[in-house]
Amino acid sequence: MRLNPILGLLLVCLVAAPLPGCSRKAEKLVGAGRVIRGPGGLGTTTRVQPTPDRDTYVEPGTADFGDLLIVGSDTLFTARILMAVASWSVPSDTLPGFSLGQVWLEVPPDTTFFEGGNVNLHLTGSSWDTTSVAWPGPALSTLLGSAVDDRLTPGAFVLPLNPAVYDSMKRWAQAPGTVPGFALERPGQGLLAYKSKGSRFRVEYTHTVSGSPKTDTLSTTVTQNFYLHSPIAPPPAGTESALILGGIYKAGLALHFPLDSVPAKVSIDEALLVLKQVVGPPFNLASSDTLAVVQVRRIELPWGESVTEKALLGVDNATTASRLLRLAYTAADSTIRITIPGPLIREWASTSSSNQGFFLSLVHRTDPRRKFLIGSRESTAPAQLHATYTDLPPGRF
């Protein structure tokens, strides 16, 4: 008996038979009704839209250690730049044929503000502690030099110093710790901006080398600089109908939403912060607004609406959410929408004591004056937190 052809056919069938199962068709409508899991069905998806029970705006402090230095005044806003030097490089006046030339301060300009005006460099009356320095900072002492920054000359802004500063430099080189610091101020209305890196003191001198006079320059790098500005004015009272986001004071929003109605063990389908712009020019895609970024961080410390400074909020350094304003802004209803991570909402829902709210800030590098006025809980268009959640899958038995 020859079984091989039959066996072959059967084996082929055997090998091929499981294959249809790999591309099975799912029961969709026909069997779906048999998924019976109790009166709650397959779970309800609930959407809540709480408004803040606390909101205000705060400033991040009067000392700004960012990469932009601002000096001058803009109505109630006044700023000055503080500088410090760790060590000095000063030419010795005992060099053969030594002759002092120019002494000046070079500060690289930033194009953010160029409202030209006179800029003065002072020696400060005292040094400062960067962890606690605040407006108005150390008093201004000796005027070391003055110049008009009209931005007509390309390159760094050059502020000539009195030749007598050279003598002071020689002393400072011997004992750098005795130098309290320096302050740049711009009297009158108008703002000037500089870069925080690249400032230096320079001394030009002539000395004899191999019988010939030679002109050299020694530079001393400014090792610390930042600016102090006047406190936000008027200070927030917590009852304003509009909250300031951004602006020259870099104001940020502190918002707290009650999340007691969100169960702890749910699937978070949506967590969206919705802010309504109530006053001011809307977002302009053709302007520098396109580069602005909205950042959200969580607040760690309890706070009340009377708070005016960001430091009292204990804002987390890590960013919870960050979005380009042009992607977050909806022109149709002048709203800013930022998605918040669902796990944060769930954490706050399960441990309400950890819910101290959000801190929102605007990073607008090209126009630091730009601000958005957001409706507060006292307004008719308060901020909202759109939270949508679904119950966990109901049990099989």
d(CA 301, CA 315): 8
| Residue 347, both tokens | 């954490």
CA atoms within 13 A on the CB side of 79: 27
d(CA 255, CA 313): 11
Among 218, 272, 279, 293, binds other proteins (CB under 8 A): 272
Q: Between 31 and 188, whose beta carbon lies closer to other proteins?
A: 31
Is residue 93 near other proteins by the rule CB under 8 A? no
The region of 17-25, 131-139, 145-153, 230-238 touching other proteins under the rule CB under 8 A is 17-25
Of the candidates 184, 189, 213, the residue with the CA atom closest to the CA atom of residue 81? 184
Among 169, 228, 268, 294, binds other proteins (CB under 8 A): 268
Give residues 341-360 in contact with other proteins (rule: CB under 8 A). 342-343, 346, 350
Is residue 332 near other proteins by the rule CB under 8 A? no
Is residue 318 near other proteins by the rule CB under 8 A? no
Among 31, 96, 177, 234, binds other proteins (CB under 8 A): 31
Q: Indicate left, alpha or beta for 257 from its phi (over 0: left) and psi (-120 to 50: alpha).
A: beta
Is residue 154 near other proteins by the rule CB under 8 A? no
CA atoms within 13 A on the CB side of 95: 19
The region of 8-16, 98-106, 113-121, 143-151 touching other proteins under the rule CB under 8 A is 8-16
Of the candidates 177, 347, 184, 173, the residue with the CA atom closest to the CA atom of residue 259? 347
Among 28, 152, 178, 234, binds other proteins (CB under 8 A): 28
Is residue 32 near other proteins by the rule CB under 8 A? yes
Q: How far is CA 241 from CA 41, 334, 382, in A?
A: 43, 16, 9
| Residue 202, both tokens | 């320079």
Answer whether the bond into residue 234 is a cis peptide, omega within 30°.
Answer: yes
Is residue 148 near other proteins by the rule CB under 8 A? no
Q: Between 42 and 312, whose beta carbon lies closer to other proteins?
A: 42
Q: Between 27 and 67, whose beta carbon lies closer to other proteins?
A: 27
Is residue 44 near other proteins by the rule CB under 8 A? yes
Is residue 25 near other proteins by the rule CB under 8 A? yes
Is residue 177 near other proteins by the rule CB under 8 A? no
Q: Between 270 and 309, whose beta carbon lies closer to other proteins?
A: 270
Is residue 22 near other proteins by the rule CB under 8 A? yes
d(CA 55, CA 238): 7
Q: How far is the CB of 323 from other proteins (least distance, A)?
A: 14
Give residues 207-266 in contact with other proteins (rule: CB under 8 A). 264-266
Is residue 27 near other proteins by the rule CB under 8 A? yes
- CA angle in degrees (0–180, nearest 5) for 358-361-366: 165
Is residue 48 near other proteins by the rule CB under 8 A? no
Beta bridge partners of 361: 295
Q: Which helix (H) or strand (E) holds 190?
A: strand 190-195
CB–CB of 91/98 below 8 Å? yes
Q: Which amino acid is at 162?
A: N
Q: What are the residues binding other proteins (CB under 8 A)?
A: 1, 3-4, 6-7, 10-11, 13-15, 17-18, 20-47, 264-270, 272, 342-343, 346, 350, 386, 388, 390, 392-397
